[in-house]
Amino acid sequence: MDSITIYFSIFATAAISLFLFLFKFVFSAAHSKLPLPPGTLGWPYIGETFQLYSQNPNTFFASKLKKYGSIFKTHILGCPCVMIASPEAAKQVLVTNAHLFKPTFPASKERMLGKQAIFFHQGDYHAKLRKLVLRAFLPEAIKSIVSEVDSIAVDSLQSWDGKLITTFQEMKTYAFNVALLSILGKDEAQYREDLKRCYYILEKGYNSMPINLPGTLFHKAMKARKELSRILAKILAVRRETKQHHSDLLGSFMEESEGLTDEQIADNIIGVVFAARDTTASIMTWILKYLAENPSVLQAVTEEQEAIIKAKEESGYLIPKGWKVLPLFRNIHHNPENFPEPEKFDPSRFEVAPKPNTFMPFGNGVHSCPGNELAKLEILVLLHHLTTKYRYSMMAPQNGVQYGPFPLPQNGLPIKISLKK
């Protein structure tokens, strides 16, 4: 095929795609009494993805909000989307009309984590899984592992003593160890290093191009995913042979009355462990940054934790079918009408309860984070030991923010940590 033919084929494909794209939205708009939200869709298929990722995402969304208001349309990552940045609209999507919205992810993400994982479903199956996850992560359930979480926190801090560490990376390890304990119990001990290795490979390939050819990050991630399934199969086999009751998440999934298949159990265990790591680690990284930059707040936290020791011892547009709807939590949380001076680190603002639906750190409704109590526990335990027994300092001024997929301090916040004399 000569170059002229190739160029003609590309042009024809693009022209047909453009025609179909325009026809689809003109036709749907003509048959609806409601207008689409204001906004722009950019190029067919590509949309405005390049504009989003070529700058600070907050700048991209802030300019849209300023121009179009709190509900607007855009087109990113191959999907037309409606973005919402008002507490009332977020509640409609997440709570009131949650049954009308189906959680969706790129097909490659579903393949990697497992198509039966809780994140990809709604309805009865999702409700059943959510009940099982909540049962394992309720405050009453995680009381039994507080001492083990405490040991993980103490061991982590001791291993950092006198060293220069990258906060985000170390917090990922800490959160991962807590996740394994709460999800697999003590059965994970002999497989811990293999699990870490597999999840590290899985993480590197998660946001890669979904090209399943030898040598690609995606291919390596899919191989690691298969190995994770094999490890879980071994743990399942041992548990069934010993017939011991376990109160962790795997035990909750394995109860005969729940009727989950091994594939469903594996998909959900792998997915929940994956979700429990980076989210909590990024929160803790920001906490340490803000405490280091606000000595008076750090002192207040330290005194509060020391007091605990002493006391113990002596939260009308058309949306076409198939479009994605994304609540912009950060824009809701950083709206000055909800929180004055939102960029300022001021924990005292939460001494007064925020207005309804304006603060949703764990989401809201049926798809809110079911492991939020565990996340709060591991954060508080580590902060308790850090503030009462250690001191730390940032190695350089931290003014920038890096993105992808979580916003983080530059370079993951390098700090020097040492035991108090």
Residues placed in the known binding site for heme: 369
Residue 43: what are its φ and ψ, rounded to 5°?
-80, 155
What is the rounded CA–CA span in Å between residue 2 and residue 15? 20
Measure the N-to-C terminal CA separation of the chain; round to a whole number of Å.
76
What is the rounded CA–CA span in Å between residue 107 and residue 17? 21
Q: Do the beta carbons of residue 127 and residue 383 sit within 8 Å?
A: no
DSSP result, 87-142: HHHHHIIIIITGGG------HHHHHHH-TTSGGG--HHHHHHHHHHHHHHHSHHHH
What is the rounded CA–CA span in Å between residue 210 and residue 229? 20
Residues 6+ apart with CB under 8 A from 27: none
What is the rounded CA–CA span in Å between residue 416 and residue 56? 28
What is the rounded CA–CA span in Å between residue 170 and residue 172? 5
What is the rounded CA–CA span in Å between residue 171 and residue 195? 17
What is the rounded CA–CA span in Å between residue 374 and residue 140? 11
How far, rounded to the nearest angstrom, does the alpha carbon of residue 134 sit from its chain's CA centroid? Answer: 17
What is the rounded CA–CA span in Å between residue 299 and residue 307? 12
Q: Is 394 helix (H, G, I), strand (E, B) or coil?
A: strand
What is the rounded CA–CA span in Å between residue 303 and residue 274? 34
Residues 6+ apart with CB under 8 A from 33: none
- Binding-site residue numbers are 369
Q: Do the beta carbons of residue 376 and residue 172 sit within 8 Å?
A: no
